[in-house]
Structure 1
Amino acid sequence: MAINLNIQRHSFQPGAMSIIQMGEELIGHPSTAINELVKNGYDADALNCKVYFHHSKNPTESFAFVFDNGSGMDDNTLFGDWLKPSVSSKRRANAKSKTFKRHLLGSKGIGRLAAMALGESVTVISKKEKRNLYNWITINRESFRRDKLLSEVYFPGDSIDVFDKLFKDEKYYSERSCFKNESLLRVLNMVSLNDFNNGTLIVIERLDSSVLKIIAEDFNQTEIFNEPSIKGTSFYKSLSALITPLRINSDIQAELLDKEIIHKENLISTKDSAFSVEFGINLIPNQGANEVDWQEIEPIPVQSVYDFRAYGKVNSKGDLKGFLDYKRLIKYSYEETLEIPFSEIINESINGKDLSLEMFSDQKKQVNETGEYYFDIRIYDIGEKDNLEKLALEAGFESGMKFRTAFKDFQGLRISKNGFGVKPYGEEVEDWIGLSKARVQNPGQNVNTNQILGYVFFYSPENDILEEKTNREGFLENRAFMQVKSTMSVLFKNIGRKRYNYRLLHGIGRVPSSRHTRPDIEEFRSVLNSNNISQIRNYSEKFLKDVTTSMDNLEDSLSFAERLASLGGSVELIYHEMAQPISALRNTKSSLNFKKERIDAEIADSFLNDIDTLHHSTDIIAELRSSLQPAIGRTRKKKFKPRDTFFKVLNLFKNDIFDNKIEIIFDKELDDYEIVDLEYAFWISFLNIVNNAVYWIKKAGRGGEIRFLLEGDSLVVSNSGPFINDDILDLIFSYGVTTRQEKNATGLGLAFTQSVLSRNNWAVSAINRDNGPAFIIKKLENE
């Protein structure tokens, strides 16, 4: 039986200020407002969009306009749907434009209000093709700054045959609460925009003081380009960043198709779709009073050159696949594959705490929610003068300084959605994945935002889970976007380590041949005594560089020594402190065994099981303590069997060896092989070598072998893991060199192995054999 409740229904009655809040107050930067208007033109199937600013010390004479030659709006649209904020036909799934099938960029329904962030009065003039009349509407934002309902605010709008009447006839500009602006009329006539066949013209009158200030400051700065300084202005740079991915979108996909990384192009429009943006302003030097020197917005200028480049895709499963291109040295240029499975990204995120544990803690959530997307990142060694000049020459700049200045304007990792840049990534917010923090912690193996220029490419409908914020200042921080940030973070860690190894291999930067090499003071004195000023200057620069390198090495060595001393002290403390609780546990077991006869029969079995568990756990702890024994008393040499030391190390990896089905193979000749030496040196060496072997076999995910062999007078530890990259085979014992990808990988383990063995007159080397990498420990002659 239905119950008829007589309950009243209600609805919101928005206040007039809501328009101000959705327009002027929501837009973070005036350039964002211009970008929104340009994107609306793109959605309207425009082929060209013009942006013009007119600066004047008299604010009433200042204005700006944005014109697009798109489809235009009829009276039903302009006087109907356009006046319904937050209502948008673009919000439907996979929405596309009518003519060029472009993925629509706007869906919030408030981008139309962006112009209110630029000036006091906004006039929209629009015309459909083959229509005789223009539709127009003028909104004065000051009329909304009242304590009344939105529905009570009215503003003028109608159809008109010649729209310049709106700006020159008193009855019209008075109705619009504006003044006659001769400069506006002159410029519209000058650029042939006093009449158009189809499209939309948005005119902003009486520009805000903040907009005028930005323009004035831009043109007061020293010119950094040979071309007019318009290219260095905030609005030009913002538009350049906006349309750059539109230009390079096809290029990156063509490369990925050629490399068979992708198998189908992700089209953002029909092939015959083109879109250009032109920018003009009245402050361009040497521009005639009766002309507008339109500057076509060009893509970011420095992207054509680079030292390193990573490009590829993250597939729907979250696996990263691509390439890393090395071009730092022309003589040593090559490209290698770059692959990071999603499982590794998850582990990095959890272990490195890049994301909250909740992000991946649920097994069901261990999926890539973002969908497939692409990336193209260029890395620059911009801090080295010779390389800076090389980059400038390749990019067509007069000097390294001009290249650096231009690069600084566009540096960072940016985001593109459907071919257009997304603010604020790479602009107001350069470091959105935390590169600066990682570089401070480990500068050699991490790159910073001021060394990169790159894009991450997203598309509809594949990546529509990434939703822009209402203020157009980035994506909502949902799970999908956090996964993107984590993936990019792991990618940059890989790039940083590979770049570090490359630079070390080829002696780039302050890379010493030995950590213990000192500057040659005697040679420096000899040079100072010469009369060759040029030689003295050049050698002085080299000597200062060597001194700085030595100081860096000393600082690193002291830091490393402090860490080792602290670690050694901690191990020794743990070793000694474990003795008492182990003894107590054994005494407890004996006491319990003595009392077990007095236990009630019903619980006797359970009691005996508990005793056995206690006994087993005590044995494990005692065994662990025994495995640490070689780390104690490190300064005393004694007779020992390397086989026994190796067993103690394996015991520390017992669970990993069992879980990953790793077979341990021993040479029988080691059963009776003894040496007299410092056991600690071999324990720490085996520990680091086995640790690496377990890591790489585990990473391969197919089981494997660790072999301990005696070959003549050499001890050999080999494994069935992947080969060591030939490029760094001779460098893996250098400080900081590592190909491991966890956040805590330092590249110090093998460096310390070589150091501790060499101090005891042993050498260690690495080679790739047919059955995997092998580490050879050999006694040096003439102890």
Structure 2
Amino acid sequence: MSNVIIKSNACGRKVNMSRNVPFRVQSHVLKLLGDELIGHDRLAVFELVKNSYDADATDVDVTLALNANPPTIIVSDNGVGMSGETIESAWLEIGTDSKRKKLARPRSPMGRLPLGEKGVGRLAVQKLGEKLKLTTCQVGQPEFEFSINWTQLIDSARYLGDGLHVQVEENSQPKVFKNGQGTRVEITGLHREQWTRREIRDLYRLVSSLSNPFDEAKSFVVHLHLPGREEEIEGLPTLQQMLEAAVWNFDFTLDEAGLLTWDYSFTPPRFKGLKGRATHGSEKLQLLEPDEDDLPVEIGRSRQKRDDRIFLASDDLKGIGAIKGRFHAFHRRDEILKASGAPQQLKKWLDNQTGVRVYRDNIRVFNYGEPGEDWLGLDARRINRPAGKLGTQSVIAQIALSLASSSALKEKTNREGFDDNEAFQRLRRIVLSIFDRFQREHGSDRTEIDKALKGEQDAPPPVQDALEKLESLGKQHKLEKEVKPILQSIQQELKTFRDVMVSSGLAGMNLALIFHEVVHSIDRVQRKLHGVADPEEIRREIDHLRKLLDTFKPLLQRDPPRKVSVEDLVERATGMHADRFQRHGVVFSNWTADPEKKHSFTQLLPRGLMVAALSNVIDNAIYWTRYRRERDEREAPGAILVLSHWGEETGGLIAIVDNGPGFQLPRDQLGRPFFSTRAGGMGLGLFYCKTVMDSIGGKLEVIDAEELKDVVDLPDVYDGTAIVFSFKNDK
């Protein structure tokens, strides 16, 4: 009832009225929370299993008894159980902060920290059925049980607080836990009594992924029982059987100081003489450049400095902690799977099991690793080099975190991943960087398989394949009218590009360079289509993608040869990087502009292509000088020198010399596309340079800086790599 307060003036005349009105919540909000909080039935089961984990269970049995009368779902564990007080103050109190308060989050006797934070996960049972019966028992204590009919409970009082009651029974003689402890949740009045074979298999796939499959101690195992329908999962391969068919394996630990320790193995099947190998390493982690979408609108000085680093720093792991993980990658060509002894069923199973999963304290963070959830953007990145990078459907991976150390990573209320905050963006960049290290290690072995396969059954054009996926996503979001015409226009543009490039002999190089830029735009569109899609926003993004292609049209235009001086070439190339030398603290020297040290000569060549080639090498030199300085924690700055030399017999040369770590690849891989030791590198820079030099009858060489001293009196500070452009003698 409202309390009415009447205020009056000195003459007793009424002036105004105010009321204390109660703030009330209707009881049906319980049903809304149960329906809206959880996305689907499988997630509801997931929430119940998480409760078993919090109760220190080591075994959980999930039973889907659809042929029973009545159809029933049961989740039973061997955890510590609940006391009568816990039932009243925790299970029957919605939104309790017993897990949420920082000071009230001690580890369990088994060393676990509670996974639940919101205090509402138990409402997940409403997603499954109308009626609940819970039985629980602690060691040496009475067994308790209670039943809830959700409709009757909610209808018993209009408002929360008006007396919703649940009758809790104490069993002096245990009915369920006669010789042990645990909790059993039985759900009847199922909202969905008919499950298809596919849905049964989807549930099996999910349940088998709830516990960490890489936990050798088997400290938390979930079993699925399907009485009367067991045959529907017969013949499905186990995760261990799938892992045995993996061709590449990468185990790693990233400690809180940023040191990456890893073991790699290549285990090909018996196929055309392929040989396996194993190696290991320990190194500072090279960071990929941050995605454009992950940068703030206004980047402060401290953030800019951190994002500009080459190596991971301990600050990057604050609120995340140390990371462990495993990558198991597969070659999905039929020939390789057959040689591995993998049946066709395994290939189909991989479609649903592959992905990059995240675990905290050996329990999965849903929905990372689910089909269609490419949280690392591996598929979009694969567009750059389809034959050299791994997409989500080729990888079964585990990322393991500690709950105690990863406090900055907050799970969403709907239990579908972490909040997309700054800590999660750091985690994503770090894991991508580790994955990039794995891919660079596997590159040469991938090439050996490709040689054995002799390039048969080539994959569809990568950008074409990505555009088809975008069209499919647009159709799913009912944006086909907005998306399809623009995508068709882009496809026609790409066809024109291919035709012109093939006729000019530059298809491989220029298409790769174009894809390298276009992929970022495609990635953005895919993210937006996976999220809340606004038709106008999607149309703008795809239109931007089309305009991106327009910027590359100059690559198709001929650059006629002209007489150019070495001084002019170097000045144009180095001018593009003048601000970067200062920003990165690199000491740059240009001997071609020094009258006492330069060797002048002119050359007949396409100036634009040559300037771009020199610029590519300078860009690499800036990176690798910074790399060595950070890796070795040197006080001496990075140093780059550009010089020219002329010999009547040998002709002219331009050399770019640095004090970096030296050339990291085998020399026989010089100029081969898609081979790089640089984080995120595609190996296209030197490929471009080699192609340009070959086209003008010149030569590109990579040598140690020390070797250049046979030709030039080089200061000792330049002890890294020398990239030498040698020109034929036109005089």
TM-score where L is the length of structure 2: 0.69
CA distance in 2, matches of 1:294, 1:738: 44
Counterpart of 2:208 (choices 219, 222, 240) is: 240
Q: CA deviation at 1:139?
A: 0.6
Counterpart of 1:128 (choices 119, 134, 138) is: 138
Q: CA deviation at 1:331?
A: 2.7
Label 1:409 to 1:320 Cα distance change in 2 as closer, same or farther (>3 A). Answer: farther
CA distance in 2, matches of 1:425, 1:753: 40
Q: CA deviation at 1:40?
A: 1.9
Aligned partners of 1:47 and 1:70 also within 8 Å? yes
CA distance in 2, matches of 1:139, 1:246: 38
Counterpart of 1:111 (choices 117, 121, 135) is: 121
Does 2:242 align with 1:302?
yes
Q: Deviations over 1:130-170 (max 9, x none)?
A: 23x42111011122454811334334332234566xxxxxx
CA distance in 2, matches of 1:704, 1:134: 75
Q: CA deviation at 1:15?
A: 2.0
Please name the residue that 1:77 is paired with: 86
CA distance in 2, matches of 1:475, 1:325: 29
Please name the residue that 1:384 is paired with: 333
Label 1:328 to 1:551 Cα distance change in 2 as closer, same or farther (>3 A). Answer: farther
Q: CA deviation at 1:83?
A: 1.2
Q: CA RMSD in A?
A: 4.2
Equivalent pairs counted in the alignment come to: 586
Please name the residue that 2:185 is paired with: 202
Once the two structures are superposed, the pairs formed by residues 1-16 of structure 1 within 5 Å of their partners are 12-16=23-27
Counterpart of 2:50 (choices 25, 31, 39) is: 39
Aligned partners of 2:64 and 2:226 also within 8 Å? yes
Once the two structures are superposed, the pairs formed by residues 280-429 of structure 1 within 5 Å of their partners are 280-285=225-230, 301-304=241-244, 306-316=246-256, 319=258, 321-323=260-262, 325-327=264-266, 329=268, 331=275, 333-335=277-279, 337=281, 344-345=287-288, 348-349=289-290, 352-358=291-297, 361=300, 363=302, 367-368=315-316, 369-390=318-339, 392-393=340-341, 399-427=342-370
CA distance in 1, matches of 2:421, 2:331: 34
Counterpart of 1:655 (choices 570, 579, 583) is: 579
Please name the residue that 2:96 is paired with: 87
Please name the residue that 2:640 is paired with: 705
Aligned residue type for 1:386 = E
Aligned residue type for 1:237 = R
Aligned partners of 2:376 and 2:428 also within 8 Å? yes
Percent identical residues: 20
Please name the residue that 2:419 is paired with: 476
Q: CA deviation at 1:777?
A: 3.5
Q: CA deviation at 1:206?
A: 2.6
CA distance in 2, matches of 1:510, 1:370: 45
CA distance in 1, matches of 2:558, 2:49: 73
Aligned partners of 2:66 and 2:194 also within 8 Å? no
Aligned partners of 2:60 and 2:75 also within 8 Å? yes
CA distance in 1, matches of 2:336, 2:363: 31
Which range is displaced more, 499-508 or 104-113?
Answer: 499-508
Does 2:394 align with 1:451?
yes
Aligned partners of 2:601 and 2:646 also within 8 Å? no
Aligned residue type for 1:64 = I
Q: CA deviation at 1:449?
A: 1.0
- Aligned to 1:122, the other structure's residue is in SS state strand
Q: Deviations over 1:54-98 (max 9, x none)?
A: 112x8x521122222222222222234321111142234372454
Which range is displaced more, 30-39 or 770-779?
Answer: 770-779
Q: CA deviation at 1:406?
A: 2.8
CA distance in 2, matches of 1:408, 1:563: 28
Please name the residue that 1:462 is paired with: 405
Q: CA deviation at 1:767?
A: 3.0
Runs of 4+ aligned structure 1 residues displaced above 6 Å come to 6-11, 509-512, 550-553, 562-565, 667-670, 780-783
Once the two structures are superposed, the pairs formed by residues 187-226 of structure 1 within 5 Å of their partners are 193=176, 195-209=178-192, 212-214=193-195, 216-218=197-199
Counterpart of 1:696 (choices 620, 624, 627) is: 624
- Aligned to 2:621, the other structure's residue is in SS state helix
- Aligned to 1:755, the other structure's residue is in SS state helix
Once the two structures are superposed, the pairs formed by residues 518-597 of structure 1 within 5 Å of their partners are 554=502, 557-558=506-507
TM-score where L is the length of structure 1: 0.65
CA distance in 2, matches of 1:161, 1:758: 89
Please name the residue that 1:757 is paired with: 693
CA distance in 2, matches of 1:238, 1:116: 20
Larger of the two Rg values belongs to structure: 1
Mark the runs of 5 or more structure 1 residues left unpaired by the alignment: 1-5, 165-192, 220-232, 251-272, 288-292, 394-398, 513-549, 566-631
Aligned partners of 1:762 and 1:779 also within 8 Å? yes
Please name the residue that 1:179 is paired with: none
Once the two structures are superposed, the pairs formed by residues 596-745 of structure 1 within 5 Å of their partners are 635-638=560-563, 641-642=565-566, 645-659=569-583, 660-664=585-589, 666=591, 671-678=598-605, 680=607, 682-701=610-629, 702-708=637-643, 710=645, 713=650, 715=653, 717=655, 718-727=657-666, 729-741=667-679
CA distance in 1, matches of 2:187, 2:231: 25
Q: Deviations over 1:328-371 (max 9, x none)?
A: 656352435475658x45xx22xx41414248546269553433
Aligned partners of 2:665 and 2:677 also within 8 Å? no
CA distance in 2, matches of 1:302, 1:200: 33
Q: Deviations over 1:440-463 (max 9, x none)?
A: 355345421111111222213211
Q: CA deviation at 1:282?
A: 0.9
